[in-house]
Amino acid sequence: MNKIKQRFISLPRPVKVLLWVLLALFAYALPLLELPIITTPGVDFGGVLFVVTMYALVAIGLNIVVGYAGLLDLGYVGFYAIGAYTAAILTSFHAHWPLLLSIPVAVVATTISGVLLGAPTLRVRGDYLAIVTLGFGEIIRLVAVNVEWLGERKGISNIARPPSIGGDDGLFQIPHLYWGDGTVLLDTEDTTAFLKFGVLDQIPYYWLGLTVVIAMLFADKLIKNSRVGRAWEATREDEDAAELMGVPTFRFKLLAFATGAFVGGLAGALYASRQSFINPDSFLLLFSILFLAAVVVGGQGNRWGVVVGAVLVAYLPQRFREFDDFRVLVFGLALVLLAAWRPEGLFPPKRTVRARQLEQDLEELEEGHEGEEAARA
């Protein structure tokens, strides 16, 4: 694994970019390919993939809080709920804004809630923080259950969808593949409209979710490889030493919390839009645990690890629905095995590789700088 990674890093830049683009294209095309074995039987594959992207998004956000800054957050679903409810209220329940206008508001509201929760609680450490956040997640859900303005148990329906491009039929139709006996055909009967956010075909939502995930992965990388990312890690490793080395640890912990809330709120708003209906049962404590499981299983602190973790946690139960009764048992067993064999997760961060990457980034920076100077002269 490590060797593959190192070989990848030493590839010339254009080749690397090409490989990434191919990977992204494959990810976008995945629901159209209808690959046997991978495609979920009996459940709409596009819908499953959309949920996978939401888990991935949430895992990226939670990884900033838990993996980078080392703050154990057991109530992350609270932020997810705030994002979802803000979008729901603004587009359906109390106003009729378009979704694209409500998402920024939802995200800002969630970020503010993150700061409000973090400001008093981030002064406590470790276990105490876990308990406080656990309470936060439940409080948000109970508020939604009991406040009429938030729809109580009935929930909120008719949440706005993203705007379709090209009307009801989309700009053009993309045929899916059909896997016959030893032949692969284009199936012109089974098509996806580009780009119509409708009720039946969930693939466009998946594309939207995947785009957001890719954007967040980029943002995550940029922030991680900077003073901010280093400050988070230093705080996680030794808070007192970090503070004495000039890191305003409280401020950076709050920043991590707010950033995590931002991503969680975004995921919540997208989820609400896709479901078109939410109620408090969409935000049970169980989801906080599953989100955390995605981060821990994948390898906290490694952005690709947590994405893999999210894929496993969200996809496998759907793929093996026929074993429904044993799902939780298998999941629990898998966690125990993981704890025994790979306590740091499937893909823990490889820091030496990262250091080499850092060197290369800096070389690129320096090249860029020389370019600037040449331009100035």
Partner 1 sequence: MPDLTKQTPATPDPEAPRSTAPSGGGPVLEVQNLTLKFGGLTALDDVSFHIDQGEILGLIGPNGAGKTTCFNAVTGVYRPTSGDIRFQGGSIVGMKRYKITQQGIARTFQNIRLFPTMTALENVLVGADAQHKTGMFTALFRLPRHRREEREGHDRAMELLRFMGIHRKADELAANLSYGDQRRLEIARAMATEPKLICLDEPAAGFNPAEKVELMNLIRKVRDQGYTVLLIEHDMKLVMGVTDRIVVLEFGRKIAEGKPAEIRDNPAVIAAYLGVDEEDAS
- Given the rule CB under 8 A, which residues bind partner 1? 219, 222-223, 226-231, 233-234, 237-238, 240-249, 255, 259, 351-352, 354-356, 358-359, 362, 365-366, 368-369
In contact, 274 and 15? CB cutoff 8 Å:
no
Smaller CB separation from partner 1, 231 or 296: 231
Provide the minimum distance between the beta carbon of 25 and partner 1 in the complex, in angstroms, as a whole number: 26
For residue 229, give Cα distances in angstroms to 62, 226, 233, 235, 249.
14, 5, 6, 10, 12
Sole residue written with tokens 């199936």: 187
C-alpha dihedral, 21 to 27 to 33 to 37, nearest 10°: 130
| Least distance in angstroms from the C-beta of 251 to partner 1 | 9
Count CB-CB contacts under 10 A for residue 1.
Answer: 8
Nearer to partner 1, 100 or 362 (CB): 362
- Of 296, 286, 271, nearest to 347 by C-alpha is 296
Q: Are 264 and 80 in contact (CB under 8 A)?
A: yes
Rank residues 31 and 61 by Cβ distance to partner 1 and give the closer one: 61
Which one, 65 or 311, has the nearer CB to partner 1?
65
Q: Can you read off the two tokens belonging to residue 295? A: 């981060």
> Which DSSP string corresponds to 37-74?
TTSPSSS-HHHHHHHHHHHHHHHHHHHIIIIIS----S
Residue 154 CA to residue 328 CA, distance in Å, equals: 28
CB of 354 to partner 1, least distance (A): 8
Shortest distance in whole angstroms from residue 233 CB to partner 1: 6
Which residue number, 55 or 79, has a Cβ lying nearer to partner 1?
A: 79
Please state the closest distance from residue 303 (CB atom) to partner 1, in A.
Answer: 15
Q: At closest approach, how far in Å is the CB of 127 from partner 1?
A: 21
CB nearer to partner 1: pick between 154 and 369: 369
